[in-house]
Amino acid sequence: MKQSYLTAFIPFVLVIFLMKMCSNDDGHQNGQHNEQSDHEHGVVEFSISCNDEAQEYFNQALGHLHHMMYEQARPVFRDAAEADPNCAMAHWGIAMTSFQPLWHPTPDEGLNRGKEALETARSLEIPTEREEAYIRAAEAFFTDPEPAVESRARDHEMRLDAWKNAQRDIFESYSDDVDAAAFYALADISYAVTQFSPYEDRDFTRETRAGELMEEYLEDYPEHPGLFHYLIHAYDSPELAYRAEEYAHQYDKLAPETVHALHMPSHIFVRLGKWDETIDWNERSAAAAKDVMDRDAHASAHYVHALDYVMYGYLQTGNAGKATETLDRVLAKEEIYSAPFAGYNAAAPQARYYLEQAKWEEAANLETGQPAALPWEEFPVAEALIHYARGLGSARTGNLAQAEEERDEIFKRVQMLRDADDTYWAYMTEATGKAVDAWIKYEEGYIDEALELMSEAADLEDSMDKHAITPGETYPVRELYGELLKNEGNLEEAQMAFEKSLERTPNRRNALQYLDEISQLVMD
């Protein structure tokens, strides 16, 4: 279907070394990057105007980049720059590792590094129009928006929009360039994530377009890491997940030991309620991460990221013993790279463990700020998860004074997120605060007010969908609403609430159990 556009070059087929973990530094000492084993994790053929040694390093690094192993990719791009001091595209690669479009706004350190890398690229000869286009597209992201905006979230949105448009131009100019297609899809998906709006139906036009584009290219590039990765992100929703199931099962053939690649298929498995697959793939991801940490003494955020999904899976299968072991593994970490998603994925398993098992007294006494390896004050969303667990636990055990304190702590974080213009997490966190407040009102005897507030909180949470960093909400507010309705004997409405929860998160254990209980009550 698509032919190589640089036939003058001999294709560089990448048999990438076994990549196991994203480190918290550049990952190489004394000029040496981490050598891995001889397992493949994808095929990259991105010809550049650099010498053969730099080309080989470049393809290796680009494979890491497509797996979103940014810290792992950066030192290998630097190796390419050292191998060929005139290789402008090596510095493009360094810039591309300096922002994470799907994860979070870019901190100043990343912006400065990216700008410096692109300035270096510009100081060198750029021999081809294609390479010029790629460098220009990266510059679109790292060029400060005008007029400037104070909000980091809006700044990120504007940078993504500029990058998306530039990547689209490359794709339209080089339609036979698989990497152009992959980066355009990633940019489109990343921009779509910034367009969440509460109480509005989500438009999946961008995600569907990106996913279908990746499917088209996979016909001719069945081992390209970016196509697999970005297709899964494109279809990471209840409405689209079924489209990616086949590809999710194939991902480990592409990357048998790559930490983030081992995790990625579970984005689809949790959407489909496939808990055994979710557990298996994330146990493998966590084991690969731990192996690298033990061997290279690197902290990691991907380790707790995988464990959060593991915890979710074990709780849905009712395996309390394994859930306990997973909680111990989270709390035992003495060093965790403090990426923004690390806080969430370290806090969520703790809250899930108690809430999903209705351990209300233990939830009320859940300790804050654990594990101590993380700077929790930098993660208001994560802190709010702990207060959510403590708030529900204390409300349901009759300690309403504590429940009110926990509710207030949640809303303090909501205000922090609003001040940062973090719309998505402000609303998602607000939903949990309203849920705690609703249960307080319920315990105080204000039944109608409690039901109305819980319904409002459930609608808010449902309207925002889940974020890519989490397997699912810590405890779905829709299920809390169903439980209140059941307690009040409104069985038909309760059944509807649990069924609606299952549409969003299929095969959840608690929702299914409540539906069984309601069925028995109706029969009796």
Helix (H) or strand (E) holding 29: strand 28-29
Least confident range of 36-50, 71-85, 285-299: 36-50
Q: What is the DSSP string of 107-154?
A: PHHHHHHHHHHHHHHHHS---SHHHHHHHHHHHHHHSPPSS--S-HHH
Q: How many residues does the chain have?
A: 524
Residue 256 pLDDT more than 90? Answer: no
Residue 28 pLDDT more than 70? Answer: no
CA–CA separation, 366 and 310 (whole Å) = 20
Helix (H) or strand (E) holding 269: helix 266-272
pLDDT in tens, 202-243: 778 999 999 999 999 999 999 999 999 999 999 999 999 999
Percent of the chain with pLDDT over 90: 75
Helix axes 108-123, 129-142, angle to 10 degrees: 150
Q: What is the pLDDT of residue 386?
A: 98
Is residue 28 classed as helix, strand or coil in its secondary structure?
strand
Residue 284: CB atoms within 10 A of its CB come to: 18
- Residue among 375, 377, 355 nearest 366 (CA): 355
Dihedrals phi, psi of 33, to nearest 5 degrees: -85, 165
Residue 443 pLDDT more than 90? Answer: yes
Q: What is the pLDDT confidence band of residue 41, given thresholds at 50, 70 and 90? A: low
Which residues have CB under 8 Å from 57's CB, separation 6+? Answer: 76, 77, 79, 80, 83, 90
Q: What is the pLDDT of residue 27?
A: 36
| Burial letters 302-339, b for 16+ CB under 10 A, else e | bbbbbbbbbbbbbbbbeeeebbeebbebbeebeebbbb
Q: What is the pLDDT confidence band of residue 298, given thresholds at 50, 70 and 90? A: low
pLDDT in tens, 90-106: 999 999 999 999 888 89
Domains and CATH numbers, the chain: 9-264 (1.25.40)
Structure tokens at 311: 């915890």
Count helices and strands in the chain by DSSP H and E runs: 24, 2
Helix axes 52-66, 88-96, angle to 10 degrees: 20
